[in-house]
Chain A
Amino acid sequence: MSGRERHTGSAARARRRRAGGGERPPLALVAPAVVAIAFVALPFVALLQRAPWGDLGGLLRDPVVTDALRLSLIGACAATGIAVVLGVPLAWLLARTEFPGRAVVRALVTLPMVLPPVVGGAALLYAFGRRGLVGGPAYDATGLLLPFSTWGVIVANTFVSMPFLVITVEAGLRSVDRRYEDAAATLGAGRWTTLRRVTLPLVTPSLAAGALLAWARALGEFGATVTFAGNLQGRTQTMPLAVFLARESDQGAAIAISLVLIAVSLLVLVPLRDRWLGS
């Protein structure tokens, strides 16, 4: 072990400096970075400055706000769960198998990221609505209807957020050294054991990052939700919808709801962002 640390003096210093993060950054990078921070932070400062601090307590107890918060959390968490359950197998297929039309499927999966959410919402209506491609026969057979229900919120959220999970997990699966799976096979593990005990643990960081991105995307979802699920308080009205509606009648309430949304987001992002998306 004693032969380990045999750096020359200057190399050792450089290494220490790097490890300590004490490198002095060049101004050409610092200046635009500071502008970027200001650009992102300023709108939030402005929002805080307009917040009705005095009435905040009352506004936050308003059922409109509590209902919207509850629906937003249900919608985002359920959508993330569904995205994981359906998206991980899809990511595995895209990363590990060859099938005709794979390029088309991959493009299709990313389409909801590019499409205006309103278009996505309308498309969902044509598919799952009262007279939709699938929704019509399903309603006739069971009487169940997705649009304008909490399930509708979940479906709209899943539609827009699943691509984030699939893309992240697919990239993770591609970067896994396949020879770990070979090692598992030589130890007697079948495909399912290998997937469960080796491959999935190895892509955990990607899975967590993808789930976090999907959750964040779902929490802020507006267009697809309002188009497909409507804007019914207590049933489909999530935080973004509540903010949009309140802006027309009560600026203070809109800001208060926004603050709650920001607080919830930071509560989740600050501890997790560093762990799974940074470093």
Chain B
Amino acid sequence: MSGGGPGGPVLDAHLVLALDRFTLDLPLRVNEGEVVALLGPNGAGKTTALRAVAGLHPLDGGHVTVDGTPLDRPDGDTFGPPARRPVGLVFQDHLLFPHLSALDNVAFGLRARGAPKGEARRAAAGWLERLGLGGHAGARPATLSGGQAQRVALARALATGPRVLLLDEPLAALDARTRIDVRAELRRHLADVPGARLLVTHDALDAVALADRIVVVEDGRVSQEGTPAEVARRPRTPYVADLVGTNVIAASAVPGGRDATTATGARLALGAPAPAAALTVAVLPADMALHPTRPDAAPPNTWPATVVAVEPERARVRVRLDGPVPLVAEVTPAAAAELALAPGDALWVSVAPERLDAYPA
């Protein structure tokens, strides 16, 4: 349990896992008190990564180290079974034992570690109380709501005092309405517990709301890492851009110049000098203007485009466009009606140079 040293990461891992379609290669460090979100599309291997940390899926390479103690190190022939790891896991669908009451579910870990029944139950009752479930101690899991079941699952994982708490899609099993309440609640509970906390989600909102730091995983690799604000402000890949509701364009430029060229050869006029040769250029969907014909004055950053899809949202209509620069534009429903947008339509799109945010790729 020692050797990590004060200030060292609680969880220090390099997860190398050969999956069906690709190999996951994920360096990961989580410090004391930190909440890290692994954000990635479904099928990115996020759940397998959590299972590997918990010891339910042996690593193919790399290592899992908690507080300086190696738990899984294939090259050193080290493997600590899940039951002996200081790691708690909250499953996506909770997996509360259906034959046990909420109280006995929470007491399970302490009992399994040899605590006498009475003592384990007293401790479990304390956890349920702390998570606001004091009145549901005797309830069977089947009678609990989704939010309650999730809190019982959280209490069950926390009761054994894990150094690393893992949460697999903690909000995915909840309906949209309870989700908002539970998200706020979960953030509070996560702030209360010591140790490292690592959650996986495919929902950017959950990651932003719950995590201190976001690690984006795409195709088995880390594609971006940073605080929620950094990730939201400066997305680096189309996947992240789509999640945070913006567009990114990969481009190259002469540093200091105001002209850039996209990978497809389109020219961009930047509002500020290019900070690097390889750029990521972000542009908000709402900052783009759509025109039925080529605008007369033909301002810079005007391209022809084809409508791929028209997706009405609340007060806006998202228009997916193909062309020299594939983009998502957002217009008002009135503008969409006026343009009579339909998939296959040809039109023109323009954006003011000062609306392009260029940063190093």
For B89, the chain A residues whose CB sits under 8 A away are 182-183, 186
Give 13 A-B pairs besides A180-B95, A185-B83, A188-B83 with Cβ atoms closer than 8 angstroms: A182-B54, A183-B91, A183-B95, A185-B55, A185-B56, A185-B82, A186-B54, A186-B55, A186-B85, A187-B157, A188-B112, A189-B83, A201-B97
User: Is A3 interfacial (CB 8 A cutoff)?
Assistant: yes
Complex CA distance for A189 and B88, rounded to whole angstroms:
12
User: Is B98 interfacial (CB 8 A cutoff)?
Assistant: yes
Could you tell me if A180 and B97 are in contact, using CB atoms closer than 8 angstroms? yes
Which of A1, A190, A197 is close to B83, meaning CB atoms less than 8 Å apart?
A: A190
User: Is B202 interfacial (CB 8 A cutoff)?
Assistant: no
Q: B98-126 vs A: 1/0 string, CB under 8 Å?
A: 11100000001101110000000000000
Interface size class of B (residues with CB under 8 A): 20 to 34
Could you tell me if A193 and B56 are in contact, using CB atoms closer than 8 angstroms? no
For B51, the chain A residues whose CB sits under 8 A away are 182
Main secondary structure of the interface of A (DSSP, over half): helix
Q: B175-193 vs A: 1/0 string, CB under 8 Å?
A: 1010000000000000000
Q: Which of B257-300 contact A (CB under 8 A)?
A: none
User: Is B145 interfacial (CB 8 A cutoff)?
Assistant: yes
For B56, the chain A residues whose CB sits under 8 A away are 182, 185-186
Given A3-B177, A189-B83, A190-B83, the answer on whether A184 and B98 have CB atoms closer than 8 Å is no
User: Is A204 interfacial (CB 8 A cutoff)?
Assistant: yes
Could you tell me if A202 and B99 are in contact, using CB atoms closer than 8 angstroms? yes
Which of A3, A179, A189, A204 is close to B108, meaning CB atoms less than 8 Å apart?
A: A189
Residue among A180, A182, A187 having the largest count of chain B Cβ atoms under 10 Å: A187
For B81, the chain A residues whose CB sits under 8 A away are 185
Could you tell me if B87 and A186 are in contact, using CB atoms closer than 8 angstroms? yes
For B83, the chain A residues whose CB sits under 8 A away are 185-190
Q: A168-191 vs B: 1/0 string, CB under 8 Å?
A: 000000000101101111111110
In the complex, the number of residue pairs spanning A and B with C-beta atoms less than 8 Å apart equals 68
For B88, the chain A residues whose CB sits under 8 A away are 186-187
CB distance from B10 to the nearest CB of A (A): 17
Could you tell me if A187 and B112 are in contact, using CB atoms closer than 8 angstroms? yes
Could you tell me if A201 and B99 are in contact, using CB atoms closer than 8 angstroms? yes
Could you tell me if B113 and A188 are in contact, using CB atoms closer than 8 angstroms? yes
Complex CA distance for A183 and B157, rounded to whole angstroms:
9
For B157, the chain A residues whose CB sits under 8 A away are 186-187
CB distance from B26 to the nearest CB of A (A): 20
Q: Identify the closest chain B residue to A204 (Cβ).
A: B99
Q: A1-19 vs B: 1/0 string, CB under 8 Å?
A: 1010000000000000000
Residue among B99, B156, B175 having the largest count of chain A Cβ atoms under 10 Å: B99
Given A182-B82, A201-B99, the answer on whether A187 and B108 have CB atoms closer than 8 Å is yes
Which of B54, B85, B97, B177 is close to A198, meaning CB atoms less than 8 Å apart?
A: B97
Complex CA distance for A177 and B177, rounded to whole angstroms:
28
Could you tell me if A177 and B108 are in contact, using CB atoms closer than 8 angstroms? no
Complex CA distance for A120 and B69, rounded to whole angstroms:
59
Complex CA distance for A3 and B109, rounded to whole angstroms:
35
Complex CA distance for A204 and B99, rounded to whole angstroms:
10
CB distance from B5 to the nearest CB of A (A): 26
Given A186-B88, A189-B108, the answer on whether A179 and B95 have CB atoms closer than 8 Å is yes
User: Is B160 interfacial (CB 8 A cutoff)?
Assistant: yes
Q: Identify the closest chain B residue to A190 (Cβ).
A: B83
Q: Which of A20-77 contact B (CB under 8 A)?
A: none
CB distance from A185 to the nearest CB of B (A): 4
Complex CA distance for A274 and B81, rounded to whole angstroms:
41
Q: B117-157 vs A: 1/0 string, CB under 8 Å?
A: 00000000000000000000000000001000000000011
Given A1-B145, A193-B112, the answer on whether A186 and B97 have CB atoms closer than 8 Å is no
Q: Identify the closest chain A residue to B82 (Cβ).
A: A185
For B91, the chain A residues whose CB sits under 8 A away are 179, 183
Complex CA distance for A202 and B100, rounded to whole angstroms:
10
For B85, the chain A residues whose CB sits under 8 A away are 186
Complex CA distance for A197 and B113, rounded to whole angstroms:
13
CB distance from B334 to the nearest CB of A (A): 31
Complex CA distance for A257 and B268, rounded to whole angstroms:
98
For A1, the chain B residues whose CB sits under 8 A away are 145
Q: Identify the closest chain A residue to B54 (Cβ).
A: A186
CB distance from A2 to the nearest CB of B (A): 9
